[in-house]
Structure 1
Amino acid sequence: MKAPRSEREEERLEALRDYRILDTPPERAYDDLTALAAYVCDVPIALISLVDSDRQWFKSKFGLEATGTSRDVSFCAHAILEDKILVVEDTHLDSRFAANPLVTSEPNIRFYAGVPLLSPEALPLGTLCVIDHEPRELSAAQIKALEGIARQVVSQLELRRVSARLALALEKINLIEELIPICSYCKAIRNDAGYWSSVETFIKQHSDVAFTHGVCEACIEKHFPEVAEAMRKQDAASL
């Protein structure tokens, strides 16, 4: 059975892409966590699965060669709809999965447990899941341990995202520290391609700053003396 999509699907996908982790090479930090999950739950397969718009992609895999599957057959697409761990003790007895090709053929999933990987905004990015070829149960201690490992996966993802943002901020600081050509008259700024643009345009291109415009007191005096006089009279009357 194909999993439905949540009302926050677009927001979820945007959050997933903000981590910039899809299709990145294997990393020891994640591989250690899948190996630990397989050991704790005593299963042959453990995965860190990230659910994209039409696929699930495995950032880390233990005991499996595949790098991902279609989202249509994904167990994890069901798990991300849950608030807590999804445990399927016997897929042959669950109408959602009994006819799933991942059950009826390789890798012959008979048992599945997946913990949602929740961003700080409570958006599910994917799961840390464990799989067996035989029906089984997890003890309360194993479930608690698996949930703890899942939190460590999210911590690694957050570390990656924060590091990327810091690197970008440093690039912007380096840019600001450089000499920037600015017109002595109109204050336009020349970019690397030799074109002139306003200060607002230049800053918007290199940061997330938004501008709102006003007129300072000195410019009101210079360009709008009658307004400045009216303001002075108003201030005097209020005193």
Structure 2
Amino acid sequence: MGFGAPKISNEEERLRALAEYRILGTQPEQCYDDITKIASLTCGTPISLMSLVDTDTQWFKSMCGFETKETSRDVSFCAHAIASSEPLIVEDALLDERFKSNPLVVEEPKIRLYAGFPLQTPNDQRIGTLCVIDRKPGHLSDHQHQIMEALSRQVVTLLELRKRSIRLLDALTHMHNTEGILTTCSYCKEVRDSDGEWQHLEKYLSKIADIRFSHGICDLCMEKHFPDVLEVWSDDKLDLNSKKNKPECKKSN
């Protein structure tokens, strides 16, 4: 009997999105382990996993209460869970036609309760799940359900930060390997790209890497360009300190 999940219509795009994170086969990381631990404690289950569904396997980046690093995709509950954007909740696998003969149900870890929450990227690709597993039937409360949804979103946020860091490193490495040096204007500090065009550094980096910028004003520029503002701030601070240090008048009897 086959246990395979339904085919994913956008499987090629989904696998490409997974590959962009370059996370398969990497070592355990505390940030993900903390999330699976919180999931297990929140739901009161002995097992919690961060599962990433590859072509033929499901690989566990983080495991709580489980030792196996990967299983075949053919027997994977998570492969079923990524078929929909909604969580997959199986309260008793022995009563579910899809899973009652699954090796993970009839043998170790003897899954009965499974609750898998898809890890959905900003481009709507479901690359895996954050799931909790119990060896006895059960269900999740509304409160537990909401926390699991929030934790699954947090996993994706961490993955996105990883991807942006990798892209920035790749871009800077490529820039160093191809040009060896970054040409900047001695006066305005604009950068010249490979086409000879001059542009602000943030515009240049935005073109070669997936990063965004926020803006502020450093202390030196504040002193140089906004002395009036600094003067007002200084006066306000003096008034505030004066009020704080002013002795209170005692009432006479």
Deviation digits for residues 176-231 of structure 1, max 9, x if unmatched? Answer: 55269xxxxxxxxxxxxxxxxxx99xxxxxxx99xxxxxxxxxxxxxxxxxxxxxx
- Aligned equivalents of 1:179, 1:76: Cα separation in 2: 47
- Aligned equivalents of 2:59, 2:71: Cα separation in 1: 7
Verify: 1:20 aligned to 2:28, yes or no. no
Q: Percent identity?
A: 53
Alignment of 1:186-205 (within 5 A): none
Q: TM-score, normalised by structure 1?
A: 0.74
User: Counterpart in 2 of 1:139?
Assistant: 141
- Aligned equivalents of 2:130, 2:50: Cα separation in 1: 5
Alignment of 1:142-181 (within 5 A): 142-175=144-177, 178=180
RMSD over aligned Cα atoms:
1.9
The answer to whether the 8 A contact 2:119-2:127 is kept is yes
Is the alpha carbon distance of 1:91 and 1:173 closer, same or farther for their aligned partners in structure 2, counting shifts above 3 Å?
same
- Aligned equivalents of 1:35, 1:72: Cα separation in 2: 26
Q: What displacement does 1:92 show?
A: 0.7
- The 3-state SS of whatever aligns with 2:67 is coil
Alignment of 1:11-90 (within 5 A): 11-90=13-92
Deviation digits for residues 71-111 of structure 1, max 9, x if unmatched? Answer: 00000000000121110000011000000000000000010
**Which amino acid in 2 is paired with 1:4?**
P
User: Counterpart in 2 of 1:234?
Assistant: none
Q: What displacement does 1:169 show?
A: 1.5
**Which amino acid in 2 is paired with 1:109?**
I
Q: What displacement does 1:4 show?
A: 1.7
The answer to whether the 8 A contact 2:40-2:48 is kept is yes
- Aligned equivalents of 1:157, 1:128: Cα separation in 2: 13
The count of aligned residue pairs is 184
User: Counterpart in 2 of 1:222?
Assistant: none
User: Counterpart in 1 of 2:117?
Assistant: 115
- The 3-state SS of whatever aligns with 1:115 is strand
Unaligned runs of 5+ in 2: 183-193, 196-206, 209-253
Q: TM-score, normalised by structure 2?
A: 0.70
